[in-house]
Amino acid sequence: MKNAAISFKGKTAFNAQFDDIYFNTDKPWCESEYVFAKGLDEIWHEQDRFIVAETGFGAGLNFLTLCKKFQNSGKRLHFVSIEANPIAKHDLAEIYENLGKFKTLAKKLARLYPPLVRGIHRIEFSEFITLDLCFGDVLEILPELDFKADVWFMDGFAPSKNEAMWSEAVFKHIARLTRLGGMVRTYSCAKIVRERLVRAGFWLELRKGYGKKRQMSHAVLKQSCEISKDPWFARCETALNLARAPRALIIGAGIAGLATAVELRKNGFDVTLAEAKDAVATNGSGNHCGVLMPLITKPDVNLGRMHLNAFLQAVRFYRSAMSERYIKFSGCIDYAYDELLAKRFESWRDENADEILTFDKDVKPYPAMFIKGGAYVRPRKMCEKIAKDLNVLFAHEYLSHKHLKNGQISVKFKNAKSLKTDVLVFATGSKSAEIFKEKEILLSSVRGQVTHIEPLVDTHMPFSAFGYVCPSIGGVQVIGATYARNEFCDEARDEDDAENLSKVSEFLDSKKARIIGSKVGYRSYSSDRFPVIGALYDEEFYKQSYKDLFWSKHKDTNPTAVYEPNVFVNIAHGSRGLCTAILGAKLIGDLVLKRPLCIEKSLFNDLHAARFLVRRLKRGQK
Ligand code: SAM
């Protein structure tokens, strides 16, 4: 992905690649209001939440026009915009300086603007406005989206100069991603635009254009268009009685449970957390110090794309919610201690990802990837801080749950009274394998021991090679960690401390290391290393309805997935829960609130709880 090559014709931003200007020379915000924002007036009084999507984010003028409209309106805007060549921050600043309009909003956009790397970037612009910036070509991004927009803004450069933005396939996807009765607005009334809108199922009206332009297109979707790709991974339908604040009960008060609680509470839920132990963050989230860094794969590998999305969301979440007392954004280093890793890191060179990842092959003792935005964290302290504002019930060990006739869910605990809820979320870390043993969710528990030593390695940023080393905090330096699948021993072991020291022996003289403590935790991993995030599927339905997937997987006769109503999981985060738990929280929010997804649909599928079962059925194994 390349950044936009911007030049200025007078004060107007110009793109030489397309030989076109970004917007009109004379008061472009008036055209933005007239052509695009005005479309919402037609449905303004009918709803409180709007999903608006756009082809061509450019400088975000249409987005800022809408921000103005939604500011102080009490209504919510979720704006999704696609951009193949994002404009660099300094160019954005110049464009708005020249415009002399939207100064405060533009400054805010520049401040929150994501790094210009491929993928979906969720930006919480204000309490009521969310922006999903999707960086990539329109035809790469559209198949990865899954929502029903109220209004689409088609704002590519002129069809004669930018054919790819107005292809037949683009219109088909836009129809799939529009609710029945939803609209498309565009300044263009070119023949191909008119014809393709109609062929995609829109009723087209040509309206008076802005200023000297004779006409513009206003189109309404008259027949809904469903394409049932991978129906076994279809989004769940949430059914909530929103007449009162719905209740959410979250099982488990580690970082995944707490982040999910924050997300749902922010969106009007009455949230309770139920924790088996007497404190928060007693297991995987409870270390003295932890590292916030993504797993880096080659750029096109789904596991790594998911981790990068999760990392960037986590950075934004912690930056906005946590002070330096809990997290220090020092950056961090991932050393390539073998050839394979070095090749993998090197493959980022052409990705234009320097804003986050820079590779230096001449660093000692190994070539190194520097990760900007990386941080070291005080996980337990952070969890305690988050929990302060939440309702946490301790000594509540989950036993079972059942669905009541009125749509609620009744949850039983060992040694505590049952609770009723509308939404139930499992964030049960290493206990998940036991809780879901009846389902085909392939999980295992991994014992990990970290070692606390007196400060020995002088580093201000955490780094990782065979093992990892954190900067010292309060006279303790944490190094780690061992990895023992399905081993259970709560006592710390000397041989594990020795293993931790030997794994970082290039960076310290282990004879000088004075061990002052160790901590054992259990992390939950899935068999394919992706976390398990989303709605809990109906095992019986899947086994019955998809039993012949070996034969029928390419047919379009398969029924749509069925889920346990309003039950979700945010589990199997392994050793990177500080990152992926935040992605899990946002995704569960997306499902519950019917928002666009904060990650590509193919990656959402990779996180799906039924993927293990679906894979087996597709292979035809009984
Ligand atoms: N809506 C913008 C605003 O409010 O500032 C102006 C959009 S400008 C007219 C068109 C945008 O479409 C450019 O930013 C361009 O990079 C983008 N674009 C062109 N071809 C594209 C493609 N194939 N995929 C995604 N974006 C594309």
pTM for this entry: 0.96
Strands 178-186 and 202-208: unpaired
pLDDT in tens, 565-600: 999 999 999 999 999 999 999 999 999 999 999 999
Query: Nearest residue CA, atom 11 of ligand 1?
Result: 56
Ligand 1 atom with least separation from CA of 18: 19
Q: What is the pLDDT of residue 241?
A: 67
CA of 83 to the centre of ligand 1 (A): 6
Nearest to 70 by CA among 123, 126, 114, 124: 126
Separation between Cα atoms, residue 124 and residue 104, nearest integer Å: 16
Query: Nearest residue CA, atom 14 of ligand 1?
Result: 58
Contact present, 375 and 292 (Cβ < 8 Å): yes
Whether the pLDDT of residue 535 is over 90: the answer is yes
Contact present, 447 and 495 (Cβ < 8 Å): no
* Mean pLDDT over the full length of the chain: 95
Q: How many CB atoms lie within 10 A of CB 509?
A: 10
Nearest to 274 by CA among 383, 407, 424: 424
Separation between Cα atoms, residue 205 and residue 193, nearest integer Å: 12
Tokens of 609: 């709880």
Ligand 1 atom with least separation from CA of 64: 4
Percent of the chain with pLDDT over 70: 100
Alpha carbon distances (Å) from 59 to 12, 26, 208: 12, 16, 25
Category of 347 on φ-ψ map: left (φ > 0), alpha (ψ -120 to 50) or beta: alpha
Separation between Cα atoms, residue 237 and residue 242, nearest integer Å: 14
> Strand, helix or coil at 97?
helix
Q: What is the pLDDT of residue 507?
A: 95
Q: Which one-letter amino acid corresponds to residue 104?
A: T
413 versus 557: the higher-pLDDT residue is: 413
Please list, residue by residue across 560-599, b when 16 or more beta carbons sit within 10 angstroms of its beta carbon and e when fewer do.
ebbbbbbbbbbbbbbbbbbbbbbbbbbbbbbbbbbbbbbb
Q: What is the pLDDT of residue 287?
A: 87
pLDDT in tens, 260-280: 999 999 999 999 999 999 999
> Strand, helix or coil at 223?
coil
Rg (CA), the chain: 25
Whether the pLDDT of residue 62 is over 80: the answer is yes
165 lines ligand 1 (CB under 6 A): yes
Q: What is the pLDDT of residue 25?
A: 74
Please list, residue by residue across 190-221, b when 16 or more beta carbons sit within 10 angstroms of its beta carbon and e when fewer do.
eeebbebbeebbbebeeeebbeeeeebbbbbb
140 lines ligand 1 (CB under 6 A): no
Ligand 1 atom with least separation from CA of 59: 5
Contact present, 132 and 79 (Cβ < 8 Å): yes
Category of 414 on φ-ψ map: left (φ > 0), alpha (ψ -120 to 50) or beta: beta
CA of 57 to the centre of ligand 1 (A): 6
Tell me the best of 138, 153, 174 to mutate to test the pocket of ligand 1, counting ligand atoms within 8 Å of each CB and taking the most: 138
Q: How many CB atoms lie within 10 A of CB 49?
A: 13
Separation between Cα atoms, residue 84 and residue 184, nearest integer Å: 20
Q: Position of tokens 């209740």?
A: 247
